[in-house]
Structure 1
Amino acid sequence: MTTREEMDCTVREAIPADARGVIELLNKTATQTGFMTQGEEGLNITVEEEAHELDSIYSSENNSVIVALVEGKIIGIASISASSKPKIEHIGEIGVVIDKDYWGMGLGRLMMEDILEWADESSILKRLELKVQHRNARARALYESLGFDLEAIMKYGVKDNGEYLDVCLMSKLINQ
């Protein structure tokens, strides 16, 4: 039986200095579960490239990355990625990743609430989308509780260990 421990966790917008920690977390979580689209291949990006990307995201009006830190180490990331193209700049794709050691502590909900609050304050974003494997019932339930609706089930949406799996496309309209 595991118990939930209290911990000091800071959630804030990512800055360029977080680049190494972001890469480390994404590479670590890539193989913790079959729910990620990235695998053993890793991110394949330099710290400098990631720092540049975080810098441009930080100054964007329709993109954001937030990080969760425990004892100075990044343990979670939530992001909104949107295009700069005028016809689709209002659509943001949400991504969330949390180190498996911190699952079940409410961090996913906390990070989603923070990124949704950021999106609500955006004057550009009107539609949020995310993709989640159908078999990831906990994540789907979280997204539904936050107002996301199932739009489609994409057959063969991802392949994990040679098995083709369904992926749910979910969305939420904001700033109506």
Structure 2
Amino acid sequence: MKIEEQKFKVNGLSYTVRSALVQDAKSLSEIRVQIDGETENLDRERGEGFIDAPGFEQIIKADTESRVNLFLVAEADGRLVGFSRCEGNTLKRFSHKVEFGICVLKDYWGFGIGKNLLMQSVSWADSNGISKIMLNGVLETNVKAIQLYKKFGFEVEGVLKNDKVLSDGKYYNTVVMGRFNG
């Protein structure tokens, strides 16, 4: 599905949040690898689960045509700097919910990009009959993200203990969160 483009100016940075376009595929492939290497908050290390430009083209086309998927990008300084994705399920028993994920280049943290990607996704879900948004993996140490999600009505639904091993060799918990608007 697609949303109407939104413009923001936060801390002196002007940026746009819009639906992903097929021509974004190459940039998405590149920044996903970069973001994965900048933080351990995500599930992948740099280069793992690589999606090439044709792979992103397929995802974008499918998401644009789907009533229960939404793929958003944030664009600043003439380039993509972050993205988010809601992925729904066509099975009737799960058709009321989507899984949500978000990532932003580290140089663009602190400008509300994650917050505005989340806000647009929540607004889209609420106006399209989707009553539940799931986050299946917020690293317990990502306190800023957990606080942001709580501001938008997400609640902790569970904790997956010793779920991830990070570069320090230690095990960390994953927080499962959800927002229900039913």
TM-score norm. by structure 2 comes to 0.88
Corresponding residue of 2:91 = 85
After TM superposition, the runs of 4+ consecutive aligned structure 1 residues lying more than 6 A away are: none
* One-letter amino acid matched to 1:150: V
Q: Deviations over 1:101-143 (max 9, x none)?
A: 01112211111101111111213x2211102111111100000
Contact 1:14/1:65, CA 8 A, preserved across alignment: yes
Hey, what's the Cα distance between the residues in 2 that align with 1:93 and 1:13? 17
- 1:165 and 2:155 aligned: no
- 1:126 and 2:135 aligned: no
Hey, what's the Cα distance between the residues in 2 that align with 1:89 and 1:158? 29
Q: 1:60 aligns with which of 60, 66, 77?
A: 66
Hey, what's the Cα distance between the residues in 1 that align with 2:26 and 2:125? 25
Contact 2:16/2:76, CA 8 A, preserved across alignment: yes
Hey, what's the Cα distance between the residues in 2 that align with 1:88 and 1:166? 26
Tell me by how many angstroms 1:5 deviates.
Answer: 4.6
The CA RMSD measured in Å over matched residues stands at 1.4
Hey, what's the Cα distance between the residues in 1 that align with 2:58 and 2:134? 25
My pick for the range that moved more, 130-139 or 34-43, is: 34-43
Q: How many matched pairs?
A: 171
Contact 2:28/2:53, CA 8 A, preserved across alignment: no
The alignment partner of 2:75 has SS state of: strand
* One-letter amino acid matched to 1:170: M
- 1:106 and 2:82 aligned: no
My pick for the range that moved more, 25-34 or 85-94, is: 85-94
TM-score norm. by structure 1 comes to 0.91
Q: Which runs of 5+ in 2 are unaligned?
A: 1-9
Hey, what's the Cα distance between the residues in 1 that align with 2:65 and 2:20? 11
Identity of aligned residues (%): 24
Corresponding residue of 2:144 = 138
The alignment partner of 2:33 has SS state of: helix
The alignment partner of 1:155 has SS state of: strand
The alignment partner of 2:102 has SS state of: strand
- 1:73 and 2:73 aligned: no
Q: Deviations over 1:44-63 (max 9, x none)?
A: 22211210111110111111
The alignment partner of 2:165 has SS state of: strand
